[in-house]
Structure 1
């Protein structure tokens, strides 16, 4: 129960900060940032929340079930726009792959470069 109380406290703190300070981030993201910062600072021990977090992760599908069932309401709309949806998914995926490839190519080690001066094993 302590783990759930800690996780909920960070969630509600994020909600409160979002409402009071009008931070342009979702409240749950604010709470998550605070939670991770608290873990790194040592204010919250991983052991305190680990069991509850594992339980929530094991049953995550239950949290998505209402959204999945809710899409049934929009079957006709999705069907009418299937071509546009399909093309946007395909082109969006290809664009992300292209940008990722270019970024890793630009930031990664150059061909023939050695990181420690030793001869590469052939």
Structure 2
């Protein structure tokens, strides 16, 4: 199960779980496509090794930065990291954080209590016994 996901800031792209290698670039076959002439067709790759996610720069024209530092080889990715490619900012988020942002469902007993609190009281208690 993926532990992290990539979220492109100021974009309508849905979060992308890192559960396999992800090619980032301008190419139409990129897993995460960034449409900008400053992005290489094959700019970077996020891959899994020993249960951890790493980023590797593939394109040489423009540097890929993680938390403001240019990636020279491979960079371990952690929740909270920000990948910068041209004008794009990609947040690395924990899948656990995403799950904790979901509102908890009410337990069945609490749901029944909420319903009974909203019911009108019966003016004739004897009618309930019948």
TM-score, normalised to structure 1's length?
Answer: 0.20
Higher strand residue share = 2
TM-score, normalised to structure 2's length?
Answer: 0.19
Larger Rg: 2
Higher helix residue share = 1
